[in-house]
Chains A and B, each alone.
Chain A
Amino acid sequence: MTATGPATVPVTAALALGDDALVLSHRLGEWAGHAPVLEEEVALANIALDLLGQARVLLSLAGDEDELAYLREERAFRNLQLVEQPNGDFAHTIARQLYFSTYQQLLYAELAAGTGPFAPLAAKAVKEVAYHRDHAELWTLRLGDGTETSHERMRLACDALWRFTGEMFQPVEGLDAGLPALEARWLESVTDVLGRAGLTVPEGPRTGAWSAGAGRQGLHTEPFGRMLAEMQHLHRSHPGASW
């Protein structure tokens, strides 16, 4: 980061990407003690820790990581509404992972190839995210092409989260990426996975009046406030506490 200097770090973009990683990390962490099987619990916790590591780097670019994570109000968070959606059943978590990790992998691959302030982080994170996407893909295939119940649940989950996917490709100040091209590749990749899973690409808008997506502007869905309260209460109740 020294090559470009901290003054050139686009704070808005760092917050957007950092908050995505932080919030999804917390959501995945909520599976600890509740996952369907022990092996999957560890897998989700590993993914959560990867994301937390990314969040720390990104939020540190924007300011003090602890202050940003624990002392901001809901309206100051810039994450996508997709990542704050509740875990739901396992299929919902997997659908959320598939949509988000596909986006993140494409985005980080592009950022890593550039020379911008996010290139060093992206170069490291893209390998982590490739694994997250692989994990989501394998589970989508198994749930979609599994039993009648698993297929139905996976279909419902993909449908329910579809309207949150357009927001990923709205421009972010300071984020130097070709988002329209990224969106085309995202659609292609997701369509391919869903097709192989025996699922159809959900109908319904991804942008416009009936879609969701103002998280980048600080407008969040109802479950986010409760998630944030849980994430922040310890730090707020005991400022400066440490292990």
Chain B
Amino acid sequence: MSTTDWPLWEVFVRSRRGLSHTHAGSLHAPDAELALRNARDLYTRRGEGVSIWVVPAAAITASSPDEKDPFFEPSADKPYRHPTFYEIPEGVKHL
């Protein structure tokens, strides 16, 4: 298997209508059209999806592990942001 200069693509698959696209993995492909087809072959072979997005990995801006504390620590001690203080009325199902 030779190495390749092909860019990396991130693959997002929607498993069924009404759900969001979820990150499934990544792959190499020379362009978007082929990336979509490679994604179909690699990530939806067992009926996993009804829609695929491919995104150039280089186009993704990610938070850095160094920023973990300033980014995420402050939300850890704010329990009032979680909707846990409400009584669920009787008769409400599927909540």
- In the bound complex, what is the Cα–Cα distance between A138 and B2 (angstroms)? 21
The answer to whether A42 and B6 have CB atoms under 8 Å apart is: no
A204 at the interface (CB under 8 A from B): no
B33 at the interface (CB under 8 A from A): yes
Contacts of B41 in A (CB 8 A): 39, 42-43, 46
The answer to whether A39 and B33 have CB atoms under 8 Å apart is: no
Question: Which candidate, B23-31, B64-72, B79-87, is the interface stretch facing chain A?
Answer: B23-31
A37 at the interface (CB under 8 A from B): yes
B57 at the interface (CB under 8 A from A): no
Known: A37-B6, A39-B28. A138 touches B33 (CB 8 A): yes
- In the bound complex, what is the Cα–Cα distance between A40 and B27 (angstroms)? 11
Contacts of A135 in B (CB 8 A): 37
Taking the closest CB of chain A, its distance from the CB of B63, in whole angstroms, is 28
Contacts of A181 in B (CB 8 A): none
What number of A residues sit within 8 Å (CB to CB) of B? 13
Within 8 A of A (CB), among B17-68: 27-31, 33-34, 37-38, 41-42, 45
Contacts of A37 in B (CB 8 A): 1-2, 4, 6, 28
The answer to whether A42 and B2 have CB atoms under 8 Å apart is: no
Taking the closest CB of chain A, its distance from the CB of B79, in whole angstroms, is 46
A38 at the interface (CB under 8 A from B): yes
Contacts of B38 in A (CB 8 A): 39-40, 42-43
How does the 8 Å CB contact mask read for A124-137 relative to B, with 1 for contact and 0 for none? 00000000001100
Taking the closest CB of chain B, its distance from the CB of A60, in whole angstroms, is 24
Q: From B30, which residue of chain A is reached at the shortest CB distance?
A: A142
Contacts of A223 in B (CB 8 A): none
The answer to whether A39 and B42 have CB atoms under 8 Å apart is: yes
Q: From B4, which residue of chain A is reached at the shortest CB distance?
A: A37
How does the 8 Å CB contact mask read for B1-22 relative to A, with 1 for contact and 0 for none? 1101010000000000000000
Contacts of B29 in A (CB 8 A): 39
A239 at the interface (CB under 8 A from B): no
- In the bound complex, what is the Cα–Cα distance between A36 and B28 (angstroms)? 12
Contacts of A138 in B (CB 8 A): 33-34, 37
B residues at A contact (CB < 8 Å): 1-2, 4, 6, 27-31, 33-34, 37-38, 41-42, 45
Can you show 21 pairs from A to B with CB atoms below 8 A apart? A36-B2, A36-B4, A37-B1, A37-B2, A37-B4, A37-B28, A38-B28, A39-B28, A39-B29, A39-B38, A39-B41, A39-B42, A42-B41, A46-B41, A134-B37, A138-B33, A138-B34, A138-B37, A142-B30, A142-B31, A142-B34
Lowest 4 A-B CB distances belong to which pairs? A39-B38, A43-B41, A46-B41, A42-B41
Besides A42-B38, A43-B37, 15 other CB < 8 A contacts? Answer: A36-B2, A36-B4, A37-B1, A37-B28, A38-B28, A39-B28, A39-B29, A39-B38, A39-B42, A42-B42, A43-B38, A46-B45, A134-B37, A138-B34, A138-B37
